[in-house]
Copies of this chain bind each other. A is one copy, B any other.
Amino acid sequence: MKHKVTFCPDDKQVEVEEGENLLRAAMAAEVHISASCGGDGTCGKCRVIVEKGVVEQRPTSKLTTEEIEQGYVLACLSTIKSDLEVRVPPESRLGKFIEREKAPASHILSAKGWEEHLSSWQRRPPIQKYYIEMPAPNLSDNVDDLKRIKRELGKEHGLEAEVDVDLSVLKYMARVIREADWRVTVTLLENNSSVKIIKVESGDTAKENYAAAIDIGTTTIGARLIDLKERTAVAQASNYNAQASCGEDVISRMIFSTKRDGLIKLQSLVASTISELLMKLADKAGIKFSDTSCLVLAGNTIMTHLFLGLSPKYIREAPYIPTASDFPWIKAKDCGLDVFGETYACCFPCVASYVGGDIVAGVLASGVSRSKKLTLYIDIGTNGEIVLGNTDWMVACSCSAGPAFEGGGVKHGMRAAKGAIEQVRIDCGTCEPMILTIGQTKPAGICGSGLIDALAEMFLSRIVDQRGKINVELNSPRVREGKHGPEYVLAWADETANGEDIVVTEVDIDNLIRAKAAIFAGISILLESTSVDISDVEEILIAGAFGNYLEIERVQTIGLLPEYPFEKVKFVGNGSLIGASLGSLSKEMLLEAKEVASKMAYLELSADNKFMDKYISALFLPHTNVELFPMVMKELKNR
């Protein structure tokens, strides 16, 4: 249910979902309110008066009884329950604010959106459970246990295919079915034409069948627990890939893998990260750890190789050949995961050395491969991968962006987790920021989307110039010379989780500019090499493990994307994770993934000098050639 919120005295309106946070609604309406504690309620600055309508408030000591009677609330602690008229009193207002064109509110596709989008797809999970009740054997019905199970599967569930079985299941099966008094649940792995019994459990556990979809990112590993029976996601978790200790990007990981025991160490590090996530998912969802029978993983080609324990040696050397780009189903424990022996895993197929299963998963999940629309699919992570095409043809390329988008290599960078600053507004007069954190707690750091927001705001409020240099001459305590060069203070020590100032440094900005330049250059080359003009593109989809509040205006402001109509850009979130989730729900999807992978052509940028030219031109805000960004320049002028 949507509600209209009107802010006075600016008379700005915004439509938001019921339950939205009032401070976030103000941000969306471009109403600037003092707010420096990230939404925790501790600074008490975001006082507003609700003149009409209902909000639900978390308790606060920052308002007196009298003030409460007058209708004062703290915006950051208020949840919208109806249409509202809200007055922002002078003491809460930041000074000048920036007028900007706004993208439509529908620009983020939620997971639910994808599910609906994909409603026509067959949802038959590759791993399924079947409950059977068998007659006990006797001298005249004395077929063996396995045949008895198969007979019942055929009778009760119409399974007619040749059913194979794991030797390890045979080892315990006889005992389990007798203890269970001939009532057992059989887990089957259905892969192409073959069907295999991978688990036999006592009693009816058919409802407890879970898969974990896992996005193996170079910097961050995301995981989602899927209830295969109910076809819903029941828990989500993510963590940094522990391999980061061996190198920040894929190149340094590959170099590490060639060292003594390097490959083994890398595999065991990623396995430990995933194992921990699996336990966390089970805890969060309150399920038995052993009920996760299936892992579907999507990662770039190097991450996939390292997960499987395959040396990426020849990916690094010209002509950059992976060992495989299509992978067999395996027992998850064979990759060093701390899981039950019956858990099976499958990795999404890859396209080439630098376009991996994460991209295939994202393209598949976002429907690019089924659409006639000419689409530009951009996955923003440590590696930026870009796909251009539709159901008829697809070309992909890859460029190294570094970990900045995931908060890596950034002084106070962090994952998009609780406490991460994900939205930033800066008053262009006072340089005072207004910040919101994930979970509305005290800020602990800044995530990728917060960083993009911060840089865009700093650029528009002239705290940084086109070259990304911080203007230390500005008359604001927030702009200062830090230990390692100029920096901007986003949050003061007394309002942060760890009691330190949270800053954005010039080095951070430099890293972010390099990252966005790589992506911009990749897009340019891909368009040029296919003779497609950006205006011919019918839709842009942006994937990446960002917070939920990345906005297309900000992305364009820093020049990550070419200027392009806002309404035709959609954020798809972690496309790789969504694709992996859908793969766990549908064996048809896994088959289609193979088709997508084999259909996609790969453009090798390392063999292309033009890429370096484009990259260097993009190392400015928004770009060396400002004519490419008329709207951004107009906004800058307007401020």
Measured CB to CB, the closest approach of chain B to A495, in angstroms, equals 51
Query: Which candidate, A216-224, A306-314, A438-446, is the interface stretch facing chain B?
Result: A306-314
- Asked if A324 meets B162 with Cβ closer than 8 Å, knowing A314-B178, A604-B139, the reply is no
Interface residues of A in 154-211 (CB under 8 A from B): 162, 164-167, 170-171, 173-175, 178, 192-194
Asked whether any CB of chain B lies closer than 8 Å to the CB of A334, the reply is: yes
- Give a binary string over A298-341; 1 marks a CB under 8 Å from any B CB, 0 the rest: 00000000001111011000111111111110100010000000
Q: Are A321 and B144 in contact (CB under 8 A)?
A: yes
Asked whether any CB of chain B lies closer than 8 Å to the CB of A137, the reply is: yes
A169 to B194, CA, bound (A): 21
Asked whether any CB of chain B lies closer than 8 Å to the CB of A146, the reply is: yes
Measured CB to CB, the closest approach of chain B to A594, in angstroms, equals 10
Q: Are A144 and B324 in contact (CB under 8 A)?
A: yes
Partner of A314, one of B165, B174, B309, B325: B174
Asked whether any CB of chain B lies closer than 8 Å to the CB of A145, the reply is: yes
A437 to B100, CA, bound (A): 104
Q: Are B137 and A323 in contact (CB under 8 A)?
A: no
Chain A residues at the B interface, C-beta cutoff of 8 Å: 137-139, 142-147, 162, 164-167, 170-171, 173-175, 178, 192-194, 308-311, 313-314, 318-328, 330, 334, 350, 352-353, 602, 604, 607
Q: Are B320 and A170 in contact (CB under 8 A)?
A: no
Partner of A173, one of B166, B192, B323, B352: B323
Q: Are A145 and B322 in contact (CB under 8 A)?
A: yes
Majority secondary structure, A binding face = loop
A145 to B319, CA, bound (A): 12
Measured CB to CB, the closest approach of chain B to A620, in angstroms, equals 31
Partner of A165, one of B313, B328, B350: B328
Q: List 6 A-B contacts (CB under 8 A).
A: A142-B602, A145-B324, A170-B310, A171-B310, A174-B321, A194-B194
Q: Are B146 and A323 in contact (CB under 8 A)?
A: yes
Q: Are B314 and A170 in contact (CB under 8 A)?
A: no
Q: A138-B319, A167-B330 are in contact. List 17 more A-B contacts (CB 8 A).
A: A139-B318, A139-B319, A139-B607, A142-B319, A142-B321, A142-B353, A142-B604, A143-B325, A144-B321, A144-B324, A144-B350, A145-B324, A165-B324, A170-B308, A171-B311, A174-B313, A193-B194
Set of chain B residues within 8 Å of A323, measured between Cβ atoms: 144-146, 170, 173-174
A433 to B94, CA, bound (A): 120
Q: Are A326 and B167 in contact (CB under 8 A)?
A: no
Measured CB to CB, the closest approach of chain B to A307, in angstroms, equals 11
Measured CB to CB, the closest approach of chain B to A146, in angstroms, equals 4
Partner of A146, one of B164, B325, B330: B325
Partner of A147, one of B142, B143, B167, B325: B325
Q: Are B328 and A164 in contact (CB under 8 A)?
A: yes
Measured CB to CB, the closest approach of chain B to A309, in angstroms, equals 6
Partner of A324, one of B139, B146, B602: B146
Set of chain B residues within 8 Å of A171, measured between Cβ atoms: 309-311
Set of chain B residues within 8 Å of A145, measured between Cβ atoms: 314, 321-324
